[in-house]
Amino acid sequence: MVIRPSGLLNHYSYTDDANKATDSRWLHRPPMDWDKADKRNDPSIVEARIHQGLKHLLWTRKSCSLLRRTFSNGTAHGLAATLRKTRTIVKP
């Protein structure tokens, strides 16, 4: 598994490559910055704090059985709809 650094800036130079220029997904796929990847555990830099926050969110999701659920279409997208359906709104 490739561990990409978190908090990277957009990569606009993809438009200089004729094979990638029409595919904007490359905006969020910059070349790998191994120096930043090696610093992902250094709490003094923003990228590391973002990385640690994402790791915490993943751990939280894995540890909560409701968030691990999948729905009939095989995704977890039904969670928001399920929660909205059961929420009671109390007006003052």
List pLDDT tens digits, range 3-23: 556 777 888 999 999 999 999
58 falls within a domain: yes
Per-residue pLDDT, 61: 79
Q: Average pLDDT of 17-43? A: 87
3 part of a folded domain: no
Q: Where are the beta strands (DSSP E) in 1-92?
A: none
**39 within some domain:** yes
Residue 73 located in a structural domain: yes
Domain assignment present for 79? yes
**Taking CA 39 as the corner, what is the angle to CA 37 and CA 41, rounded to the nearest 5 degrees?**
105
Is 75 domain-assigned? Answer: yes
Q: Exposed, middle or buried by CB within 10 Å (0-12, 13-18, 19+), for 51?
A: buried
Q: Is the pLDDT of residue 68 over 80?
A: no
Give the domain range for residue 28. 12-86
Total domains in the chain come to 1
- Token pair recorded at residue 57: 């969110």
